A and B are shown apart, each in its own frame.
Chain A
Amino acid sequence: MILHIVQYSAAQDNALATSLRYIQPQDTLLLMGDGINSLLQRKWQATLSDTQVCLLEQDVVARGLQTRLGQYQQLSQAEFVQYTLTHAKVITW
C-alpha cells in the first residue's frame, strides 16, 4: 500500500498522469498544493473515479474550493502525517 503524492496540477506537469500509470488499486493518491486543481476538470474526475483519492484540506480551503471539491476526502495535517505512517512508503512525484 503506497501513498502517492502529487503537488503539480496536470496543466503544470505530467506528474499526475505518470503516477497513475504505476498506481495500484490498494494505493492512495494524495493531491496537495496546485495538484488539487486537476480535480476541477471533468476529464480528471473521470480518470480518477476508481482511484482512492484524497486532498490536503488546507490547500482546498486556501483556494476556496471546499464546495467544488466537497465530494473528495480531505485530510488535515495530522491525518496526512498519519497516512504517511499507515502506508508502506510514500512516493512524491
Chain B
Amino acid sequence: MKKIAIIFRHAPHGSAKGREGLDFALLSATFEQEISLIFADEGVLNLVPQQTPEAIGAKDFLAAFKALPLYDIECVYACHQSLADYQLEESALAIPLEVKTPAEIAELLTQADEVFVY
C-alpha cells in the first residue's frame, strides 16, 4: 500500500488533466492505495461550485469529486496561496477540504511515497 499524492494544477474543461487526475485518484483508491488530493495553482478552479460543463459539451466529471468519501479518500487539500490568488473563499468551495499553506503542502509531498501532477 503506497501513499500517493495527486496534485491538480490545471483548470477544468480547457484540458482533460482534471478528469484524468480524478480518474487516476478513484482508480488508485479502489486498489487500496492511500490517496491524498492537493489542489494548487489554477487547479483550485476544479473546486468552483455549480459548474455546468455540459453547456460547452464538456463532461461533468466534477460531480464525481463529491464521491471521494465513498472511495475512502479523506485527505483533500487546497493551497491557501492559490485560493487567495483566485480569490476563492474556503466556504464557497464545492467540496469539504483542508486549506494548507505552501509550506504544509511541501511537507505533505515529502511524506508521500509518490507524487503525480495533473
Contact surface of A with B, Cβ cutoff 8 Å? 2, 14-15, 17-18, 21-24, 88-89, 91-93
Question: Is there contact, CB below 8 Å, between A92 and B9?
Answer: no
Helix, strand, loop or mixed for chain A's interface?
mixed
Question: Is there contact, CB below 8 Å, between A21 and B40?
Answer: yes
How far apart sit A18 and B36, CA to CA, in the bound complex (Å)?
A: 18
**Interface residue? B90 (CB, 8 A):** no
How far apart sit A2 and B109, CA to CA, in the bound complex (Å)?
A: 9
* B114 in complex: contacting residue of A21, A23, A89, CB < 8 Å: A89
Quote the shortest CB–CB distance from B81 to chain A (angstroms).
6
Knowing A18-B41, A93-B9, say if A24 contacts B106 (CB, 8 Å): yes
Tell me the chain B residues, 81-95 only, with Cβ under 8 Å from chain A: 81
**Interface residue? B117 (CB, 8 A):** yes
Interface digits, B84-118 against A, CB 8 Å rule (1 contact, 0 not)? 00000000000000000010011001101111010
Interface digits, B29-49 against A, CB 8 Å rule (1 contact, 0 not)? 000000000001110000000
Inter-chain contacts of A14 with B (CB < 8 A) = 9, 41-42
Question: Is there contact, CB below 8 Å, between A22 and B102?
Answer: yes
**Interface residue? B22 (CB, 8 A):** no
How far apart sit A21 and B43, CA to CA, in the bound complex (Å)?
A: 14
Tell me the chain B residues, 3-61 only, with Cβ under 8 Å from chain A: 9, 40-42
Inter-chain contacts of A2 with B (CB < 8 A) = 109-110
